[in-house]
Structure 1
Amino acid sequence: MDFLHRNGVLVIQHLQKDYRAYYNFLNFMSNVGDPRNIFSIYFPLWFQLNQTVGTKMIWVAVIGDWFNLIFKWILFGHRPYWWVQETQIYPNHSSPCLEQFPTTCETGPGSPSGHAMGSSCVWYVMVTAALSHTVSQMDKSFITLHRLTWSFLWSLFWLIQINVCISRVFIATHFPHQVILGVIGGVLVAEIFEYTPGIQTASLSVYLKTNLFLFLFALGFYLLLRHLDIDLLWSVPIAKKWCANPDWIHIDTTPFAGLVRNLGVLFGLGFAINSEMFLRSCRGENGYGLSFRLLCALVSLTTLQLYHFIKIPTDTEYLFYVLSFCKSASIPLTVVALIPYCIHMLMKPSAKKLN
């Protein structure tokens, strides 16, 4: 493992030396892979255009991030920005100097990369959905056009994943092997859900049971290893110790913060899809109209950008987790139930006047 870490540091030094001018682009690509953007950008857009794809996207993102958490706890992966300070393999304390950035100081273990895993699983869902739609619309005689579409979309997929991986390595948050593991893990999770059609018709009971299982398994795993004197939060004090700027340490990068956020989103989606508001709007007379769906997508994207201004207090950790769960649950409730229902009610009088 030291071999991978040491060579990974050389790669990071090379990137930071030769690609410093591309920092803004690489920082943008890192944000593209941010799991939080799945819920605030990709999901509201895709759900309004295709409810099947939107629902699958949430399931893939939540289950993928849950597996990412479990593997992080099992693999005990170091992050480059603290590993170079903690390791003893460099003689005479001549540890390499790695530049840090505002997005560097994540506090959870580093392997596999959550950004790479989240990006690959969600983009895999989007690409396969787009291919499925284009193939169904194409005449069988257009074999060349189908092949070009297939090549373009998968080339776009790998171009995005490579750039997300490079961005995460550049800011010294991950070693190269960690982002590669993340991409592989994300693709595997997404591929499994290609053969799990039952999530489209899942009842509220299924959502609640899944939420409870994911929470109890993660909590039980944590308590079991803690009983064995294995601290799964070992990385948090190290991250705080070696981060260049204390302001770059954020509680929402801790392992449990991601778990709570994902459980909140899945919980909210279960209630929203099984709500009366969703059935009346998205499954009603307006639900299949293109103008209705585009308007819902536009309003959803705009509304969720306002969520960034809602700051959750971080003074009390447990209160932060509770409020984070509630905020996350409100996202699918807003996108799936509240906004479509309000637009449906506004369009209803207009439809009556036309009649």
Structure 2
Amino acid sequence: MDFLHRNEVLIIQHLQKDYRACYDFLNFMSTVGDPRNIFSIYFPLWFHLNQTVGTKMIWVAVIGDWFNLIFKWILFGHRPYWWVQETQIYPNRSSPCLEQFPTTCETGPGSPSGHAMGSSCVWYVMVTAALSHTVTRMDKFSIILHRLTWSFLWSLFWLIQISVCISRVFIATHFPHQVILGVIGGMLVAEAFEHIPGIQTATLRTYLKTNLFLFLFALGFYLLLRLLNIDLLWSVPIAKKWCANLDWIHIDTTPLAGLVRNLGVLFGLGFAINSEMFLRSCRGENGYKPSFRVLCAGTSLATLQLYHFVKIPTHQEHLFYVLSFCKSASIPLTVVALIPYCVHMFMKPREKKIK
């Protein structure tokens, strides 16, 4: 593994030397792959465009990120920016110099890449959903159009995934093999959910049971390895030790922070979809109107951008996790229940006036 890492460090150095002028673009692509953007951008757009796809997107993102966490704990993958300092394979401490950036200092293990896995699974869902609506007739023109659309969308998919992977390698937060594993893992999770139709009709009890299982399994796995004297948070002190700027260390990049965020989102979605507000608005008469969907999508996107200004205090770790869970749960509640219900009530008086 050290031999592989050593060769991959050369790739990172090459990227940082020859593509430094593309930093802004690569940093943007790294943001595109950020799992948090799945909930604040992709989900509100797709849910109000197609509730089935939006719901599947949340399930795929949450389960995919959960698998990512478990594999990170199993594989113990190093990140380039600290590996070059910790390894003993370079003679006379002549370790290569890797440039660090504000987004470099992730604190969790590096394999597989969470950004690459999150990006691939969500874009896989979006591409397959779009392609499922391209063939309505079996005439020659429709088939040709479908093939052209298929080629375009999958080319776009791979262009985005390659860009996200290069960006993560460029900032020295992942080795190349880690982002490749992430892309493959994300696609496998998304493809598995193509064959699980029961998600759309899941009851609140199903959501709660799934949440409880994911939490207890992760907690049990963590405690089991602790009993075996294996510290699953081993990467956090190393990240703090070798990060060029301690201001770049953020608690929301720790393994437990991602778990809490995902459990909160799934918990909130379960309550939202089974709420009276959702049934009256999205499943009511207005729910089929394009104007209602567009207004809900636009309002949801604008509202969720305000969430970035809500800063959770980080001085107490347990308080941070509790508040992070509540904030994450409020996202689907806002998108699925609260905003559609408000839009529904706004449109109702106007409809009466017209009558």
Q: Give the shorter-chain TM-score range.
A: over 0.9
Match status 1:107 vs 2:102: no
Aligned to 1:47: 47
Aligned to 1:161: 161
Aligned to 1:12: 12
Superposition RMSD in Å = 0.8
Q: 1:86–1:137: structure 2 CA closer, same or farther, 3 Å change rule?
A: farther
Aligned to 1:120: 120
Specify the code of the residue in structure 2 equivalent to 1:250: H
Aligned to 1:315: 315
Alpha-carbon distance between aligned partners in 2 of 1:122 and 1:137, rounded to the nearest angstrom:
28
Alpha-carbon distance between aligned partners in 1 of 2:51 and 2:161, rounded to the nearest angstrom:
25
Alpha-carbon distance between aligned partners in 2 of 1:242 and 1:173, rounded to the nearest angstrom:
12
Aligned to 1:226: 226
- How far residue 141 of structure 1 moved from its aligned partner, in angstroms, is 4.0
TM-score of the superposition, structure 1-length normalised? Answer: 0.99
User: How far does the alpha carbon of each residue in 1:183-228 deviate from its partner, in whole angstroms, 9 at most, with x for none?
Assistant: 0000000000000010000000000000000000000000000010
Alpha-carbon distance between aligned partners in 2 of 1:65 and 1:128, rounded to the nearest angstrom:
20
Specify the code of the residue in structure 1 equivalent to 2:230: I
Aligned to 1:216: 216
1:88 match: secondary structure: coil
User: How far does the alpha carbon of each residue in 1:24-46 deviate from its partner, in whole angstroms, 9 at most, with x for none?
Assistant: 00000000000000000000000
Aligned to 2:96: 96
Alpha-carbon distance between aligned partners in 2 of 1:29 and 1:285, rounded to the nearest angstrom:
39
Alpha-carbon distance between aligned partners in 2 of 1:251 and 1:38, rounded to the nearest angstrom:
19
In the comparison of the two structures, how many residue pairs are matched?
A: 355
Alpha-carbon distance between aligned partners in 2 of 1:239 and 1:304, rounded to the nearest angstrom:
30
2:56 match: secondary structure: helix
Identity %: 89
Alpha-carbon distance between aligned partners in 2 of 1:324 and 1:294, rounded to the nearest angstrom:
29
Structure 1 stretches of 5 or more lacking a match? Answer: none
User: How far does the alpha carbon of each residue in 1:230-252 deviate from its partner, in whole angstroms, 9 at most, with x for none?
Assistant: 00000000000000000000000
User: How far does the alpha carbon of each residue in 1:143-181 deviate from its partner, in whole angstroms, 9 at most, with x for none?
Assistant: 221111000000000000000000000000000000000
- Equivalent runs, 1:232-271 vs 2, <5 Å: 232-271=232-271
- Equivalent runs, 1:294-333 vs 2, <5 Å: 294-333=294-333
1:134 match: secondary structure: coil
2:104 match: secondary structure: coil
Aligned to 2:65: 65
Alpha-carbon distance between aligned partners in 1 of 2:47 and 2:200, rounded to the nearest angstrom:
12
- How far residue 138 of structure 1 moved from its aligned partner, in angstroms, is 7.5
Aligned to 1:206: 206
Alpha-carbon distance between aligned partners in 2 of 1:287 and 1:183, rounded to the nearest angstrom:
35
Whether the 8 Å contact between 2:135 and 2:142 is mirrored in structure 1 is: no
2:136 match: secondary structure: helix
TM-score of the superposition, structure 2-length normalised? Answer: 0.99
- How far residue 137 of structure 1 moved from its aligned partner, in angstroms, is 6.9
Specify the code of the residue in structure 1 equivalent to 2:226: R
